[in-house]
Structure 1
Amino acid sequence: MTVRVGTRGSALALAQTALVTAALEGLGLRTEVVTIRTQGDRNPHHPTLALGIGAFVKDLESALLDGHIDLAVHSAKDMPGAVSEGLALAAFLPREDPRDALIARGNTGLRELAPGAIIGTDSPRRRAFLLAARPDLVVQGIRGNVDTRLHKLGAGDVDALVLAMAGLTRLDLQYHVTEPLDVSLMLPAVGQGAVAVQVRGDDERMRERLALVDHAPTRVAVVAERAFLAALGGGCQRPIAALGTSEDDRLILEGAVLDAGGTRVIRDAIEGPASQAADLGEQL
């Protein structure tokens, strides 16, 4: 049996997909990678907010539901809070560093950036946290893959970037990082650093196989974070953040909601049994 693995075609998406195919091949399965251009990929110059929720996910889900692929690989942070009807999240790979990272010209840290410095990010969450910490900065939208954004930084279009530490690490580009941003300063996006594997809900055979590569601590954390997001009716387009950490059978979930300008930050945490991850997310 050859498992058709659907993914976006970016370098980062393919690097994450290679982790999934390696895990499947470790189970003795043959794999075929099927690249699919999503709405977000087809409109690289449109602001992410204008593309709507699920711009990097929906086309992969459609291919899955239509039977063109057997599973889809997603960055968990790109996924809406609710799982689409007829589909299931069958596995999460071990989470990479969930923090955000500052990459600045002149190797400057966030606190040392000059007033009026231009920071490139297309994320409302990052924008809000940046302005909460440094209201004297200018936050400017920026699209494109990691290499494109680094090129824009080098060309002087912006003074600094904020990117996911996980993506930089998976692309072996972490040496560009000026400052990993502590979660006390910038709480990560829901699911950031986690790779999610999605299947058809009725594909019991595939779900059973993927259960063998599912990383329980990552699943517990991301399930709680996604429940928090769903309870707020949000997607990655709103300034919502959450991070779950589990130890033994306990889960600590921290969440935050901000206004667009970072002038108001509501932040709280909850702790409880890891077995009640979804309930904890809803309660928070």
Structure 2
Amino acid sequence: MQPGPGPSPSKAPPNSVLGRTMALLTAFRPGDTELSLAELTRRTGIPKPTAHRLIAELTTWNVVERTPKGIRLGMALFELGQLAPLQRGLREAAAPFLADLFQATHETVHLAVPDGVDVVYVQKLPGRNGPSVASRIGGRMPAYCTGVGKALLAFAPPGRLGEVVAAGLVRRTPRTVVAPGLLEKDLARIRESGVAVEHEESTVGIACVAAPVLDGSGHAVAAISITGWANRVDTNRLAPAVRTAALGLSRVLRAGTA
């Protein structure tokens, strides 16, 4: 599962100071330990003098740090992320359910939330003998081709599926569903069973089974999944455990908002 790409350098840079600041910060992609100023300007299209000035300001707030070879994201961003109430509360509530799934299966366990047409992973427990899944905490993937994404789409508010289809269904593997009608049928099956199954739709060699975490109105606010080798993981056998964990977390979250 490869996280989504960063901002396109072909786009014109934002006009506002805040917009340009965000463009610089979101230019960092998974695996980027640090970036040179030249690379940041290339990715964002922001003029070098302007980028240099903004980086200097961000450094005083510890949002970024200068290194001998360039710039890296600072500790202040991590600290701010820990203050996000929705994700922090969700992760805390989900912790025992995710831990039970991991101990029972030793496969990779994910917790994800919807964000536009994508899903964002807010927790990951890596499997011990499973595939090296490229998902990461804070990373994102398209909703239409992942187990957690389809679980979220099946129980999404009206209009979400239309937004996903309008954004484009890109074929990531030979098994990716790119026909809107077939995707709609798949989501209908998920609503009936309460679980979503993905077999090599996002990444060749990987399969997963996921279930939605529902709020009081029946809409999915998160999804839990188990991921493993496609030729080894038994999604039918694991489905009840994932479904039970998602139902348990749904009850905990609803009780907390009652």
TM-score for both structures, normalised by structure 1: 0.23
More helix as a share of residues: 2
Q: Per residue, is there more strand in 1 or in 2?
A: 1
| Greater C-alpha radius of gyration | 2
TM-score, length-scaled by structure 2: 0.24
